[in-house]
Amino acid sequence: MAFQTVAPIATKPRHSLPFSRIDDHLRTLNKPAVKTIHSPDGDIIDCVPIHQQIALDHPKLRNHKLQMHPQTQPSYGTAESVNRFTKMGRSNEIRQLWHENGRCPSATVAVRRITAEDIRRVGSVERFGRKFHQPPKPKPRSPKPKPRSRIVSRPGHEYATAYLDNNEYYGTRATINVWNPHVQGPLEFSVAQIWLAAGSFDNGDLNTIEVGWMVHPKYYGDNNTRLFTFWTDDAYQFTGCYNHDCLGFVQVSSEVALGASISPVSSDGGVQYEIQLMIWKDSVTRNWWLKFGNDAPMGYWPAEIFSHLSTAATSIQWGGEILNFEISGQHTQTQMGSGNFAQAGSSHASYFKNIFYVNAANQLVFPTNLQTSVAFPNCYSIQVPNANSFYFGGPGRNSNCP
């Protein structure tokens, strides 16, 4: 995959954004750095002193004590879970592209710098960091969509996922292979991710923590595959954002930059490159921690920024998501995962494997009752070969998905 910075996507805003508003917002987001690293793909990574990061400006964190390490971590709870863990093996190495030109020193955090063009592409300071939705109303399709879990309720968003719900969950661990899917429309995206959720979308109080990889040309200005996080406390209305694009996620690692490109990616029939992600709730502080790969924990979402998730998640979801704007009145050709259907299997389809969830005893256990959800199986599909792994994805528009 060639990493390139592409020309800004042409838009025709009704009014140009005032430079003063953009500059003020950039001063809020981009904290002074002790070192700056220029990535080969055009990103700028700032090494920000850990106690000066943007998250700590959150009004709910005024009396928050920075946690450098989690006080508790989950263990593998059963003999079968331990046995599955020992058989997991090591993944082919994934790195972030900016590492080619340097690393951040200790006592700093690596933060992708936001530019004025990033904000202009989105169209407003208020929308920056938020998710895009509300495309033209999708046309009725046959067969009728299966009932879907509580997370997937927004128009235009299509999913192929496995999930657990109607219980209390305190985290999850999974391995995902990484691809660079084609994204057709400038407002569309393709994602492979984990969701932890509580509350209700329909009631406007849905809390989510979301982590994975994505291709999002409108947001990042290119077609690179990038590591991302997202959170919301009110069903994507006014709170939450991607990465460090608002006040929320507290980072403690200097090794990983949220929103930065990850490389290399998997090839169809070739080498599969993977990322390992673990999210868990510290049973002492109630903060939700994130671990990327085998490195030290990356950071956490403080319990104070959530309502329902301050206690526990009531559902976990793993899988793919795309945004379909039905360009020219047809289903999008935006690919999910590798662009191949789940039935293509090993070395061809996108997958989640080594899936565990964290129970109330702070133990990692493998699920025995994964359910699946796919709205339009002629466009994207999912297949579960065993209890803690599955394939998913698809090409989008094709002869059976017009």
SS3 per-residue string spanning 190-247: EEEEEEEEECCCCCCCCEEEEEEEEECHHHHCCCCCEEEEEEECCCCCCCCEECCCCC
Q: How far is CA 323 from the centre of its chain?
A: 14
- Reference 241, options 270, 210, 277, 206; nearest CA is 210
| Distance between CA atoms of residues 186 and 135, nearest Å | 12
Q: Which of 210, 274, 304, 326 is catalytic?
A: 210
Amino acid at 264: P
Q: Which of 158, 188, 274, 321 is catalytic?
A: 321
| Distance between CA atoms of residues 124 and 132, nearest Å | 12
- Reference 94, options 242, 213, 5; nearest CA is 213
| Angle (nearest 5°) at CA 122 between 120 and 127 | 115
**Are 212 and 176 contacting, i.e. CB atoms less than 8 angstroms apart?**
yes
Q: What is the largest CA-CA distance in the chain?
A: 62
**Are 324 and 188 contacting, i.e. CB atoms less than 8 angstroms apart?**
yes
126 is annotated as an active-site residue: no
**Are 175 and 88 contacting, i.e. CB atoms less than 8 angstroms apart?**
yes
CA-to-CA dists, residue 327 to 106, 121, 143, 286, angstroms: 47, 19, 21, 44
321 is annotated as an active-site residue: yes
Query: In a 3-state reduction of DSSP, which class is residue 331?
Result: coil
| Distance between CA atoms of residues 205 and 311, nearest Å | 14
46-50: Cβ within 8 A, 24+ apart? 46/110, 46/111, 46/112, 46/113, 47/104, 47/105, 47/108, 47/109, 47/110, 47/111, 47/254, 48/108, 48/109, 48/111, 49/107, 49/108, 50/107, 50/108, 50/109, 50/251, 50/252
Output the six-digit token pair for 278: 């673990």
For the chain, the C-alpha Rg in angstroms (whole number) is 20
Q: Which residues are the active-site residues?
A: 210, 321
